[in-house]
Amino acid sequence: MYCYHCGKEIDEHKLEAKQSSLSLKDENGELREIDSDAQVAYVCPQCGHLIRANATPEDLKALSQASHSQLQRGANSFARGMALNLIGLIIGILAISFLLLSYQSDGGGKTLNPGKSTFLIFVIMGIVAVILLGFGIVSTVIGLRKKVTYTKLLKDLNNKTFVQ
């Protein structure tokens, strides 16, 4: 189920698993069942608007606009993630070069000298590279998921095959 106002995807099965919408507590605190023909509406956790199953053409237009907005946010997130991945990769390569510079050759054997400043630079750049790659991968995956989800939703809305 999608919010018509902001486009957020809501899993109504998870909501119904927590508490059924067809059973309400009355004044005495007792559970009372509602007939299954009653129309169920959910409140969007992001924007607070009501979401109902049957959509009017105005609701579908608003959902289409929100989907385009979410699609743009997904593209921005994907681009940000790819930029962070690239910067993290460059810093990681530089960190490896500083690791190679921290080796010293004395008497034919190469030993790592952790007391050199180049080793400290390697550690700092390595940490920065891992953090940037982590955020980059997460942002890229989130962007891809949004792009795929909202592209399918817009395709269904354009083909008039969308069912809430």
Q: How many Cα atoms occupy the beta-carbon half-sphere of 8 within 13 Å?
A: 15
Q: Read out DSSP for 63-100?
A: HHHHHHHHHHHHHHHHHHHHHHHHHHHHHHHHHHHHHH
Report helix, strand or coil for 20: coil
Residues of the chain under the 70 pLDDT cut: 13-40, 107-109
Q: How many Cα atoms occupy the beta-carbon half-sphere of 84 within 13 Å?
A: 19
The reported pLDDT for the residue numbered 22 is 54
Average pLDDT of the chain?
A: 84
Paired with 105 in beta bridges are 110
What is the pTM (predicted TM-score) of this model?
A: 0.76
The reported pLDDT for the residue numbered 3 is 84
